[in-house]
Amino acid sequence: MAASKKKVIISCALTGSIHTPTMSDALPVTPDEIVEQGVGAAEAGAAILHLHARDPRTGQPTPDPAVFMEFLPRLKQSTDAVLNITTGGSLNMTVQERLAAPLLAKPEMCSLNMGSMNFGIFPLADRYSNWKHDWEEPYLRSTDDFIFRNTFRDIAYILEHLGEGCGTRFEFECYDVGHLYNLAHFLDRGLVKTPLFIQTIFGILGGIGAEERNLVFMRETADRLFGKDYEWSVLAAGRHQIPFTTMAAVMGGNVRVGLEDSLYLAKGRLARNSAEQVAKIRRILEELSLEVATPEEARAMLDLKGADQVAF
């Protein structure tokens, strides 16, 4: 479990589809805001930017490729970061809707959720009373009766059309131990290729809890299943973000931060942007004598096709 000497990849998830505009004025909604925060996060040290799109008027998550194309080319022009597009989308999007933008953009990397699950963000609704937009409260509360669909057939479809078809590689998002075994199944079938980039996720209601022993167990399980043929990364929701990413880095892993995963910089203090979180975890890594990977180093570690091979 000792830390390795390899460099640490910092991923930054800028906006996601969990938090809503009422929760923080810093949450980027418009293409201009996503570009501004993406550039800031990259300058702070993020090698990978994980991207969702939102309706610029209401902040509601959208799969519309036209909205993605309002910020993807600008981010590519303004940063050297790897641009990683969601295939998870948000509540009640079909797989085809979730894939519309990635299939058009043919990015270097996309996220891919490794199993269907309860995805409960309804407790967040009890923390707020004055909503900026009518969609927010029912969107959150509906998740007490929502299954985030990622069937074996769905995953295989994405691997075939986006992976084989576009040369895109994946951030395999594993919210529980079983998701690691699902990924091993696809490796056994020859549908995924090493090196795998495995993002283990802690603290989502419906997934594995944010406990230190779970972090170790997920790492040990991935080691048993994949040996040395993977890069491990960790994200944790809310207040667990910095403690868990720090522990992961000490254990030889990579880290993910950003306003998708937590709106806060410290207890009781909202982050002004994702770059503040990137800068914070970078300071911690460097205090631990860990080096941060550049985008080009991350591309080499993850065997990505390169920014010149995307369609935007």
Give the model confidence (pLDDT) of 42-99 as tens digits: 999 999 999 999 999 999 999 999 999 999 999 999 999 999 999 998 887 899 999 9
Q: How far apart are CA 261 and CA 19, in angstroms?
A: 9
**Single-letter amino acid, residue 164:** E
pLDDT at residue 1, rounded to an integer: 43
The position carrying tokens 């720090």 is 246
Find, among 189, 188, 194, 144, the residue nearest to 172 by Cα: 194
The mean predicted confidence, pLDDT, of the chain is: 96
Quote the crossing angle between the two packed helices 241-250 and 274-287, to the nearest 10°. 40
pLDDT band at 207 (very low <50, low <70, confident <90, very high): very high
Q: How far apart are CA 270 and CA 257, in angstroms?
A: 14
Give the model confidence (pLDDT) of 19-43 as tens digits: 999 999 999 999 999 999 999 999 9
Structural domains of the chain ordered from first start:
10-302 (3.20.20.70)
In sequence order, the β-bridge partners of residue 8 are 292
pLDDT at residue 5, rounded to an integer: 64
Q: Could you tell me how far CA 237 lies from the centroid of its own chain?
A: 11
**pLDDT at 229 exceeding the cut of 70:** yes
Output b/e per residue, 95-104; b: 16+ Cβ within 10 A: beebbbbbbb
How far from 285 is each of 10, 150, 157, 278, CA to CA, in Å? 10, 34, 37, 11
Q: What is the mean pLDDT of the segment spanning 7-15?
A: 98
Give the model confidence (pLDDT) of 162-174 as tens digits: 999 999 999 999 9
Q: What is the mean pLDDT of the segment spanning 303-311?
A: 97
Is cis: bond before 65, omega within 30 of 0? no
Report the run of H or E that residue 266 belongs to, with start and end.
strand 264-266
pLDDT at residue 89, rounded to an integer: 87
Give the model confidence (pLDDT) of 128-144 as tens digits: 999 999 999 999 999 99
